[in-house]
Amino acid sequence: MELRVIGIAPPVTALAATLGGAILVIAMHATGAGAEHLDIAAGAALAGFAPLGTAVAASSIVGRDSGAELVMTSTVYRRVLFLRVGLVVVPAALVTLVDAVVFRALNAWPVGQGTDGYVLVWAPPMLWLVALAMLLAIGLRSPGAASGLIGGIWVAQELMRQDIMKNTVLRAQYLFMGIDTKVPAHEWTVNRIALSAVGVAVVVAVGLLLGRPERFVGSDAA
């Protein structure tokens, strides 16, 4: 039922981003790309494409009810929205996990990452981006605006990498840590914990905002 409401586009978009990254890595492997390029591509697919696609897809779910008032009167809207986001995020996360296993088997793996990288390379960035996308979509009442900002932040993280890495606070929120260069273990751990902590905090904030679902009435749906 909820899948019918959100439509096929959001889950397919999230999966397409994840699978697109996998196809790129497999194609590079098949065409004999250098080990260094292959490792970076695998890291970018896991920590870059998959979280971005999932976040943009998740943000598009906000404001989809043309009769939102009816939904709010008959059920807890927070639960409905989180369920819908789950329908996008869970399949994308499972496919990304499979991607990670395949990449490791192909020896296309970010430098210095161990077995914990199967999850930690992509899950904290995905949580961070999805949570932020939801918060922006609700705050701005516009999925389009939220996805624009998320896309911009995602590109800016790579574009402004040198400045981000110079700042202790921003470095802890860097999504692509350890993808193209090996970083000390403690720095990697701090980054993963900080990303996850901020992601969880933002999810809590989203839950609190969803306590007032009337904010969605008249939202600028896409």
Partner 1 sequence: MTAVLERTAPPATAQGDWWAKTVAAARYEYLMQVRRPAVWVVVLALIGLRCTSPYPDFDDSTTALPKLVADWAGNFIMLCPIGVGAVLADRVRREARLGLNDLLTSTPTGIGPRLWGKAIGAGAATTTPVAVAWVVLLGYLTARRGAGAIPVGLAAFAAILLPGLVFVVACSVTVPYLTGPVPYRIGLFGYWFWGNMLGPRFGILTPAGTPFEANGEYPAGAWFHGMLFDARQRGIVPTGVEAVLSVAFLLLMALAALVITQLVLTRRSPS
6 Cβ contact partners less than 8 Å away, ≥ 6 residues apart: 61, 64, 84, 87, 88
CB of 3 to partner 1, least distance (A): 15
Q: Name which of 53 and 118 has its Cβ closer to partner 1.
A: 53
- Considering only the C-alpha atoms of the chain, give the largest distance between any 2 of them, rounded to a whole number of Å: 58
Q: Are 19 and 57 in contact (CB under 8 A)?
A: no
What one-character DSSP code corresponds to residue 215? G
Beta strands in the chain (DSSP E): none
Distance of CA 166 to the CA centre of its chain: 24
Binding to partner 1 in span 45-74, by CB under 8 A: 49, 52-53, 56-57, 60
CB of 169 to partner 1, least distance (A): 14
By rule CB under 8 A, what string of x and - marks binding of each residue 183-222 to partner 1? -------------------------------------xxx
Near partner 1 by CB under 8 A: residue from 19, 22, 26, 41: 41
Choose one: 107-115, 122-130, 144-152, 202-210; the region binding partner 1 (CB under 8 A).
144-152
Near partner 1 by CB under 8 A: residue from 76, 94, 98, 159: 159
- Is 91 a binding residue for partner 1 by CB under 8 A? The answer is no
Near partner 1 by CB under 8 A: residue from 120, 147, 183, 216: 147
What one-character DSSP code corresponds to residue 175? T
Match 């976040």 to its residue by tokens. Answer: 55
Which residue, 147, 129, 138, is CA-closest to 206? 138
Token representation of residue 25: 């890595």
Near partner 1 by CB under 8 A: residue from 91, 112, 151, 207: 151
3-state secondary structure of 186: helix
Separation of alpha carbons 196 and 60, rounded Å: 22
CB of 134 to partner 1, least distance (A): 15
Interface contacts to partner 1, rule CB under 8 A: 9-10, 12-13, 16-17, 20, 24, 28, 33-34, 37, 40-41, 49, 52-53, 56-57, 60, 140-142, 144-145, 147-149, 151-156, 158-160, 163, 220-222
